[in-house]
Chain A
Amino acid sequence: MGPRVTKAVVSFEGIVKRFPGVTALDGVSFDVSAGEVHALIGENGAGKSTLMKILAGAYRADEGTVRIDGHQVQIHGPEAGRSLGVRMIYQELTILPNLDVGRNILLGREPTRRGLVDWRALYRQAQAILTELGLDIDARTMVEDLAIGEQQMVEIARALVGNPKIIVLDEPTSSLTRSEEEALFDLVRRLKERGVAILYISHRMEEIFLLADRVTVLRDGQWVATKPIGDVTEQDLIALMVGRDIDTSAKAPAHDAAPVVLEVRDLQAGPRVRSVSFAVEAGEVLGFSGLVGSGRTETALAVFGAEPHSAGEILLNGDRRTVHTPRDAIASGILYVPEDRKGLGLVLIHTVAENLALPSLPRFETRGLLDRKGERRFVAEWVEKLGVRTPSPDQQIEFLSGGNQQKVVLAKWLALGPKVLILDEPTRGIDVGAKAEVFRLIREIAAQGVAVILISSELPEILRESNRIAVFHQGRIAGELDAEDASEEAVMALAFGQDRQTGRPQMDASP
């Protein structure tokens, strides 16, 4: 696929953007050609989103020029960006669930006849766009009735109204299932054939190598490199992003047999967890793999008491435990780090200290009053221990990077002395350098004898970090693999319900 010699649709020339105290962008220059998928990568804070906001018209550059089709442009506000052919598709969907697909696609651009909305024309135009994208979606379907992946497609369909020259996709696959991802990639390729320039922002190396023609790396607001994708390896890109070599290939240390800490027998919970049994030993990392919706997360939530279970036993060190609420689980030393860090893991509007101390408050209580000084010492100690980078414990946690937020979540549980730690997608939305640090922490936690359960959608991650992998398929564990003889293919085969020996799809006993 190499780079095509076509003229630049968008070029950035020496873009500088300063905020009080920081230079977010410092002389960034590169261009994106028509019909090119151009990946833009960098750690959080590297300046990707600032640059995109300048392109979208949300910010204005302090220095430098943006050219579209060779003309120098001033983009004041999102409408201006739109009329110049710039379309942004953000991680969070911006379509309205309470309207139907057609009204969403043409929102703000409804065709009119004599001042009234021409509904028939609206649905016809919307349907035409959907068909053009090869999407089998009826324009009159309510958006809330669509799967997340389809909603994403509608979001992209909306970007095609008018005459888009460049479409920016910001982490578009973060909430998609595997098959939805495939559909998205197809769509991106089709857009590319139409000659649209695509700026693709992603943390996932696999997709970048799959889709991109060229890749630009930013680090600390500075342009580092723009290269044809064929000229670089994953290791190269990571080194360029971080500015140093990070070894992401070393496997987790082997685990020697130890007593079982947590055993779950025939757990049933809701429609997604039909019958799940497993055991984790002290110091072991058990990986939970499987497709989204296969019951991994739902099992974790049930074991943690966040969702009720209808049957099954939970044994801790051989004793049956009653777990009906997270409080019960926490009292037993079973702790859970949720996937949705911002929505469920943290109180974003509160400080680092408040978040970190929340589950530990009972220990600072004497005669009904809290020992605030002791609490502060405790917070300082844990911030130090896990190396949380924050200007002060009183910093609002919303303003910390994803990696540092996750360290606070880990610290708040480690302070309780966990017996079982369940981590659900612990590195989602965290940049490469911080990922390595989070995994170093997880290895340390396991080394101290905690039984760890690691849920992850990223196969290389789970293969590298687990001692054993339980693969979920339709509410059951389809099979367990030892880390030594596990491969991506073996895990995927189980996840898709294929029998390992025969390679044929497994018959599902229950409806």
Chain B
Amino acid sequence: MTDAASVRRFISRSGIYVAFAIVVLVFSLASPYFLTVTNFLNIGQQTSVLFVAAFAMTFVILSGEIDLSIGSLAALVGVVIALLLTQGWPLPLALLCGLAVGLVSGLISGSLTVIGQIPSFIVTLGMLSALRGISFLLTGSTAVPIESDAMLEIFADAEPLGIPVSIWFAAGIFVVLWVVLTRTRFGAYVYAVGGNAAAARLSGVNAVRVKIAVFALAGLVTACAGILLTARLGTGLAEGARNLELDAIAAVVLGGTSFAGGRGSLGKTVMGALLIGTLNNGLTLLNVSYFAQLIIKGAIIIAAVLLDRWTRGNR
């Protein structure tokens, strides 16, 4: 076997790790502040919302669908919680309502997609617009400050064992979802339905219910992302979490989860989100302008997928 072939095989199996290592190496050489524990905790904290949103997206994409409403939903959840708190609702109840908004939104998207038989791209494109509109309507487009110190402390400021609490939440959500995906019947059905919905149905899987459940779960997880985001910002912002869905899709695809469904994993999504978070952090450290950052990020996402094609297509 030639070296080129084995290099290619190595990259195809661990392309995302290689990409991550290169990015870390480049930034470490360019900035003395990059490769420090503090900075990496920073990256984790800044990326935690994206992590959670990307987990939600992983489920949806694995099941062969897409959810474009994730950013709008995260913002709406934050707005609802902030408003309820200003009304004097107790924190747990406000949080519960926020989660319920996520769940219901997911159920609506899922039902329209599966029972209404409208492509999820269209359904969630509509939801993206509608949910954002509801947020603006509720707030009159002013920022609603979070009137609960407990919420800020629990979801943003606390640092158990010196690690920012949002990282703990992202990790906790990861563990729960990982168990759901790899150790439960539902998880196996998500893969089966995404791999071939017709065959799954003929094997006795209730594909309709599985897909609706996936959207509902994604809505719930997105609500968690919305809570983390709102706590970090300290306000419920109707225009918050813009393009979160696009970053989440990028993280999932970078991780190597198949856009066609049925193939991929949550662990890979972690790497994809980490790569995006690291890029954001490193480029900012290097004082690259925001506009240039957008271009570089876009180029790296396309390059990573191209690399994946190249290594995969030649096997």
Contacts and interface: CB of A to CB of B under 8 A. Distances in A.
Contacts of A338: 202
A338 B198 CA distance: 11
B196 A347 contact: yes
A330 B200 CA distance: 13
A345 B202 contact: yes
B204 A327 contact: yes
A365 B192 contact: no
Interface residues of B, dominant DSSP: helix
Given A347-B262, A350-B262, A370 B184 contact: yes
Contact of A361 (B185, B195, B206, B258): B185
Contact of B203 (A343, A359, A365, A368): A359
B202 A344 contact: yes
Given A330-B204, A354-B188, A354-B192, A344 B179 contact: no
A506 to B, nearest CB: 34
B188 A358 contact: yes
Interface string A310-338: 00000000000000011100110000101
Nearest to B188: A361
A103 interface: no
A372 interface: yes
B183 A347 contact: no
A306 interface: yes
B137 to A, nearest CB: 40
Given A369-B179, A412-B203, A358 B192 contact: yes
Interface string B160-185: 00000000000000000001000111
B184 A347 contact: no
Given A361-B185, A369-B184, A350 B191 contact: yes
Nearest to B195: A347
A348 B204 CA distance: 17
A348 B179 contact: no
Contacts of B179: 369
A344 B185 contact: no
A368 B184 contact: yes
A261 interface: no
Interface string A348-392: 111000100111011001001110100000000000000000000
Contacts of B297: none
A369 B183 contact: yes
A260 B206 CA distance: 30
Nearest to A345: B199
Contacts of A326: 201-204
Contact of B192 (A336, A347, A368): A347
A430 B196 CA distance: 22
A432 interface: no
Contacts of A331: 204
A346 interface: yes
Contacts of A359: 203-204
Considering residues B192, B199, B205, B263, which has the most beta carbons from chain A within 10 angstroms of its beta carbon? B199
Contact of B201 (A306, A350, A362, A369): A306
Nearest to B201: A326
A327 B206 contact: yes
B203 A370 contact: no
Contact of B199 (A343, A362, A370): A343
B199 A347 contact: yes
Given A359-B204, A369-B179, A349 B188 contact: no
Contacts of B183: 369-370, 372
Considering residues B196, B202, B258, which has the most beta carbons from chain A within 10 angstroms of its beta carbon? B202
Nearest to A331: B204
Contacts of A336: 202
Contacts of A344: 196, 198-199, 202
A346 B206 contact: no
Nearest to B197: A347
Contacts of B258: 349
Considering residues A325, A330, A347, A361, which has the most beta carbons from chain B within 10 angstroms of its beta carbon? A347
Contacts of A368: 184
A336 B199 CA distance: 11
B192 A350 contact: yes
B263 A349 contact: yes
B67 to A, nearest CB: 21
A348 B196 contact: yes
Contacts of A369: 179, 183-184
Nearest to B1: A20
A369 B187 CA distance: 10
A326 B207 CA distance: 11
Contacts of B198: 343-344
B185 A362 contact: yes
Interface in A39-76: none
Nearest to A346: B199
A347 B202 contact: no
Nearest to A338: B202
A230 B289 CA distance: 80
A65 to B, nearest CB: 27
Nearest to B179: A369
A346 B192 CA distance: 9
Interface in A193-221: none
A365 B188 CA distance: 12
A304 B204 CA distance: 10
A104 B198 CA distance: 30
A473 to B, nearest CB: 27
Given A346-B196, A347-B192, A349-B262, A306 B185 contact: no
Interface of A: 304, 306, 325-327, 330-331, 336, 338, 343-350, 354, 357-359, 361-362, 365, 368-370, 372, 412
14 contacts: A325-B206, A326-B203, A330-B203, A345-B199, A346-B199, A347-B191, A347-B200, A349-B195, A349-B262, A358-B192, A358-B204, A358-B205, A361-B188, A365-B185
* 9 A-B pairs with least C-beta separation: A347-B195, A330-B204, A347-B196, A358-B203, A359-B203, A361-B185, A327-B204, A359-B204, A369-B183
Given A343-B198, A344-B196, A370-B188, 8 more contacts: A325-B201, A325-B206, A343-B199, A344-B198, A344-B199, A344-B202, A370-B183, A412-B203
Interface of B: 179, 183-185, 188-189, 191-192, 195-196, 198-206, 258, 262-263
